[in-house]
Amino acid sequence: MRRALTFPACGLLALFCLSGLASQPAAALPAFADVRRDYVPSDATLLARDGQVLQRLRIDKSVRRLAWTPLAEISPALVRAVIVSEDKRFMEHDGVDWRAAGNAAWGNFWGKRTRGASTLTMQLVGLLDEDGQRRGRRSFLAKLSQTAAAIRLEAAWSKRQIVEAYLNLVPFRGELQGVGAMSQQLFGKWPHGLDERESALAAALLRSPNAPSDLVARRACNLLREMAREGECPSLPGFARTALSGSARIQDDGTPQRAPHLARKLLDTPGQALRSSLDYSLQGFARESLRRHLGSLRQQNAEDGAVVVLDNASGEILAWIGSSGDLSSAAEVDGVTALRQAGSTLKPFLYALAFETRTLTPASLIEDAPLTLDTGNGLYAPQ
């Protein structure tokens, strides 16, 4: 007579399969250094000739990732909140929380709704296995394989490396991936400055990144109670609505934004760091000189200009200022390459020729009175 496989037998079979999978070589698991090296932020960077950063520009519009954030630059409050929320026994297990897994299996056997048993390490394995994530693998053997991979990962990586990689790769909300983008976009600060309330709200997003703000606030409050910080709960609903409103709040990280127009012409790959011929100091000097000059012409309604500085000997471009920035009503237009009327295009060359032949000097005054010319086909009166 055929006998149905009982729950204990299923558990033993799973453990047998798991032990076999865990003994397989870990060639498919990347090293921590490789994961960090291969991480690609959504921005690209334009460098000056000496390597100083001139401009950062977002290239990848599908996801928002900032530079990799080391664990030392992440608030301990956030690390604690994530561990309490996702994996309470993280510091004790070897990649699998057997107690949580047993409770979940027993609850599923009796048809009860239980909390998931995925550890931070198992979740990280899923984040590293992008192909599996895209295919949406949820089979029993796939889960066993992920569990075995988590055990191997724990053997190869330190706990600090696992937490650091997880917080940099995990999606938090919408397009925000990683702790840097999340902290900046939602709270307007860098990860090292997150407090307990902000950390609880961020950790509450991990289970359901796009949940309504009220649900996220309730989960965050439950988490704060577990951390004996329930005094923060009354202000959470309003705070969550503000933080999760979607307003762009990526802050200036102190990087000078000196060459936006040239950056848009040259940068096209996420994570790219392109060294240009621009001189860092001269670029800043040219920009400030243009703004001062336009300030002196304010009464003449002059609000914009452009500057290109060339090295006469080599032909290298040393400065490229496409517009005056916030002084202009069309700051995005690159005045260096914008099309002009033929007369305007010739003016710099005509002045240069006049200076060379000493017909004029930079101090010469030129009459700009109304003029009417007979063209043979009528009169031409330029204004």
The DSSP-derived string for 67-133 is S---GGGS-HHHHHHHHHHH-TTTTTSSS--HHHHHHHHHHHHTT--------HHHHHHHHH-HHHH
User: Residue 171: helix, strand or coil by DSSP?
Assistant: strand
pLDDT computed for residue 115 by the predictor = 54
Listed as ranges, residues in the chain with pLDDT below 70 are 1-28, 98, 100-117, 130-142, 246-255
pLDDT computed for residue 97 by the predictor = 73
pLDDT computed for residue 282 by the predictor = 97
pLDDT computed for residue 136 by the predictor = 46
pLDDT computed for residue 173 by the predictor = 94
pLDDT computed for residue 24 by the predictor = 47
Asked if 127 and 170 touch (Cβ cutoff 8 Å), the reply is yes
pLDDT computed for residue 254 by the predictor = 56
Q: What is the rounded CA–CA span in Å between residue 323 and residue 115?
A: 56
Give the distance, in angstroms, between the CA of residue 193 and the centroid of all CA atoms in the same chain: 18
Q: What is the pLDDT of residues 272-323, one digit of tens each?
A: 999 999 999 999 999 999 999 999 998 888 889 999 999 999 999 999 999 9
Q: Six-digit token pair at 9? A: 């037998």
DSSP H or E segment with residue 310: strand 307-310
Q: What is the rounded CA–CA span in Å between residue 161 and residue 151?
A: 14
Nearest to 317 by CA among 364, 277, 259: 277
pTM reported for the whole predicted model: 0.78
Tally Cβ neighbours within 10 Å of residue 180: 24
DSSP letter for 279, please.
Answer: -
pLDDT computed for residue 37 by the predictor = 95
Tally Cβ neighbours within 10 Å of residue 47: 17
Radius of gyration of the chain (CA): 31
Q: Six-digit token pair at 260? A: 């936006």
Q: Six-digit token pair at 354? A: 């006049």
